[in-house]
Amino acid sequence: MRLYPGERGEVKSVRILNEFHNLPREIQDNTWAGMKRVIINIVDSLSYQTDYKKILADVYKNDKAYELLRLHANQGKEVAKNILKVMDVTITEWIIRDSPPYRLKEIMCPRYFPGSLAFYMNQPQPYDDEVDLTPFKSKTSSMLGKAVKYSSKSGSVFFRAIDQIDGRQRYLGENWTQYRVNQVLRDSHAFDRGDDKAIKWIDNQRQDIAKGGLYNYRHNKFSFQTLYSVSSETSSHIQAADIAAGFARLAYERYGIVAVAGSFDYVTLNGERITQNDAEEKFELWRQLIEQEKRNSQAIILSN
């Protein structure tokens, strides 16, 4: 803000991105020294869509099945519209199953050593395996887009809790693990104003995790601090988060996951932690997916 004394309220990340390379090198280095520690959560539906398109190609014995369905749907054919609607619902469920809260539920489910008494007692799972898609259904917006937004926003709340669990705790000390996770989940967080429904979903998920443990009778009255909806113009913290997200988004769109993993210490892609060691492999996979999408689009245009 000191670099823009004439601005009132908020300096938009777009302006920062456009002018950052012109700032003195010392300021750039000092900015990155702090910004690289921001946790970056990326949710991209491309890989899920590609997986579903492969299913369609196998069913219809046609590599361009999805593109043809889109064409028929645009022509008003109801069968094609219904198939694409089922596709959106299925991909939405896949995204939510990979989201941070659902990954945490999966990790929190107890694991028992084969041969132990608990292993053969067939203990009930503490969390419902079904995914409730009701919060994502809307007449005015894409449920797929809402799932992407909700999942990415939830990372700031749940990944720190996931990091509390190590491999040994999958077999031992569920009660202690639940307590440690709840201690982290109870922390307060603030989000940019404008999406209270996403914040409500995130809050419901952390309440569900607290109540779903094997020893939930000790945690039913566990108090959670508030998740706030804050105007970015009144909070330098929200503005800082927006600027960091702008840098990460620009790097991802231009150069892929490798650039993001190289700039930030903690990066997740579709709920999975990405390090510099495996970023190259992920980058090559996503490059191939994008190239395949381009070829399929060009092929369907030429065929018409």
- The predicted-structure confidence for 63-117, as pLDDT tens digits, reads as follows 889 989 999 999 999 999 999 999 999 999 999 999 999 999 888 776 655 555 5
Q: Is pLDDT at 19 greater than 80 in this prediction? A: yes
Mean pLDDT of the chain: 83
Do the beta carbons of residue 64 and residue 74 sit within 8 Å?
A: no
pLDDT band per the 50, 70, 90 thresholds, residue 233: confident
Q: Work out the average pLDDT over 52-66.
A: 91
Q: Work out the average pLDDT over 178-192.
A: 88
pLDDT band per the 50, 70, 90 thresholds, residue 154: very high
For 238-285, the pLDDT digits (tens) are 888 999 999 999 999 988 888 898 899 999 999 888 887 777 777 777
pLDDT band per the 50, 70, 90 thresholds, residue 297: low
Q: Is pLDDT at 220 greater than 50 in this prediction? A: no
* Structure tokens given for 236: 């330098």
Tell me what percent of the residues of the chain surpass a pLDDT of 70.
Answer: 81
Say if residue 5 is exposed, middle or buried (CB neighbours under 10 Å; 0-12, 13-18, 19+): exposed
Report the alpha-carbon distance of residue 114 to residue 66 in Å, rounded.
44
Q: Is pLDDT at 150 greater than 60 in this prediction? A: yes
Q: Work out the average pLDDT over 215-227.
A: 64
Do the beta carbons of residue 215 and residue 175 sit within 8 Å?
A: yes
Residue 217's pLDDT is what?
A: 41
Residue 129's pLDDT is what?
A: 74
Q: For CA atoms 240, 242, 243, 249, give the dihedral sign.
A: positive
Q: Where are the domains of the chain?
A: 13-18+35-116+141-302
